[in-house]
Structure 1
Amino acid sequence: MGKNFKHGFLDYPVYAFSENYPHGHMEDWHSHDRIQLIHTLTGVIRIQTHEGIWIIPPGRGAWIPAQKKHALLSSGDVKARGVFIEAIADTDLINQCRVVAIPALLRELMSSAMQIQTTIQPNTRNERLLQLILDEVRILPALAFNLPDPQNPRLQQLCLNIKSHLDLNWNLEDTAQQLHISSKTLARHFQRETGLHFSHWVRQAKLMQAMIDLAMKKPVLNVAIDLGYDSPSAFSAMFKRELGMTPSDYLNQFQENE
């Protein structure tokens, strides 16, 4: 756990929690008996599963199924809130990791649930509040803030190389030549293993690193150069196209959520 972990009343299928993580805080592979929805107010959380990487910037959340093995790394000083939900609390809850938007109503519901410190009585405001949380988490919009990992060892090594050298121009044809295969073969295998086109995966890797770097207050110019863009404007255009907001709009969220 991080620092200053607090929670609402535990003896119920749903309970809220808050937690602070200092910059660089790491949690090794672990799992929870309950579903975890963790929502960041400040900072960025990087969650690793055996399927890939999930990045949670301010104002977003991560849905982690019960018993799902995952590791955690915080960038910046992270303030987080969330809920733990019994896996049997509702059978129609999703059973896959995903990054989700956190509407204002759910954010306030989790904040209110943090104040519950007594047994939940039937047909009371507290019970209705927690049941409303269950209603809200069913309809959370999923966001494409994940980077799926291939299972093929050769493609795994390729993806590690790409993530280690994001400043390079990773085009399909040149990369296929390095692997001594045709570009069609690489494209087909990469799509099958990750569900993404090769160029989309590379772009997503750069975007997710940018989200972490910007959270660490690295200047936009430096982020653009480190990710291989010719200019800050080219980087900003990609960022806005993928996220629907400029780097400046993204950075403003950090102040809004503090």
Structure 2
Amino acid sequence: MTWASISAPPGVLPPRPITMRVQSIPPRHEFPEHAHDWHQVAYAIDGALMVTAESRSFVISPDQAVWLPSGVSHRVGSLLGAEFRSLWIAVDAGRNLPSAPTVLAVSPLLKELIVEAAAIERSQDSDGYPERVATLILDQLRRAQSLTTGLPWPRGGRLLRLCEALYIDPADARSSSEWAKALGMSSRTLTRQFEAEMGLSLRSWRRKLRLLRAIELLSSGTAVTETAMQLGYGSASAFVFAFRTEMGASPHAYMRKATGAYRASSPIPPKLRRQNSRR
């Protein structure tokens, strides 16, 4: 299936120092390749983003964001749909941040600050609160852990058909030889091409895919048992064991840590806003 193009909301001004964009990305929609005269943080509070930058394509889960320096050509979309939150950041404000596209771990505090920045965008707050939120976001971005990459993603061809099918249905249990036959290629050719383009074996990629989809499903409120079934595990306990092995924590413990003190969809409480205003 083809992808449709979408455009940025009208009337969005250049960042001074941060401009927040809020937009829903429907399934199989993307922002075509483009570049900015400012930095950008691409993030989704719900759903996964597919990002292409500097000849690399990858998918990020809701606990990750992508730092895109000014001038870097990039493309952002979503296979299954996402709630997109894009931060445009002035060049001067992005000092001491990476000079190349970088996947960042999103802490619970950074997530809450992004949600809050979206809630107060275009507000007529005269006490400087939006500027304080922007300063905290920049501080958190500088402290964010840099990750090697998201889930590698093919640029096109038969490998793209394979990866899209497995992303949509991670419970698909067909072996590499069965997939090779379905794609009209030999098992050896599939193995060689996959490892050459993706940098890892199909088996390892499927394991990373399941983990990313697990985080995506859990972040959207899907129960552990339902998540296990959608991912193709024989039982919830098998899924919990696999998740704990990869992440060092159970799904429940991981999500408690990921959401922090507040729900991901909740803004910073008014009480905290009042405290900040008095400082």
TM-score bracket, shorter-length normalisation: 0.5 to 0.7
SS in structure 2 of the partner of residue 248 of structure 1: helix
Q: Residues 1-258 of structure 1 correspond to what in structure 2 (within 5 A)?
A: 10-11=15-16, 15-21=17-23, 28-30=30-32, 31-33=34-36, 34-38=38-42, 42-49=45-52, 51-58=56-63, 60-66=64-70, 67-73=72-78, 80=85, 82=87, 84-86=89-91, 93-102=98-107, 137=141, 140-143=144-147, 146-151=150-155, 153-178=157-182, 179-183=184-188, 185-252=189-256, 253-254=258-259, 255-257=262-264, 258=266
RMSD: 4.5
Question: What is the deviation of 1:221?
Answer: 1.7
Using a 3 Å threshold, how does the CA distance of structure 1 residues 57 and 186 change in structure 2: closer, same or farther?
A: same
**How many angstroms apart in 2 are the aligned matches of 1:181 and 1:77?**
35
> What residue identity is the alignment partner of 1:213?
L
Question: What is the deviation of 1:230?
Answer: 0.7
Q: Identity over aligned residues, as a percent?
A: 21
Contact 2:153 2:160 survives alignment (8 Å) = yes
Using a 3 Å threshold, how does the CA distance of structure 1 residues 35 and 242 change in structure 2: closer, same or farther?
A: farther
Question: What is the deviation of 1:224?
Answer: 1.4
> Which stretch shows the higher mean deviation, 211-220 or 134-143?
134-143
Question: What is the deviation of 1:231?
Answer: 0.8
Using a 3 Å threshold, how does the CA distance of structure 1 residues 44 and 104 change in structure 2: closer, same or farther?
A: same
TM-score, scaled relative to structure 2: 0.63
> What residue identity is the alignment partner of 1:221?
T
SS in structure 1 of the partner of residue 252 of structure 2: helix
Query: Which structure has the highest strand share of the two?
Result: 1
Alignment deviations for residues 152-208 of structure 1 (CA, whole Å, 9 cap, x no partner): 62222222332233212243344345444144x433321110112211111222222
> Structure 1 stretches of 5 or more lacking a match?
119-125
**How many angstroms apart in 1 are the aligned matches of 2:66 and 2:170?**
25
Contact 1:99 1:143 survives alignment (8 Å) = yes
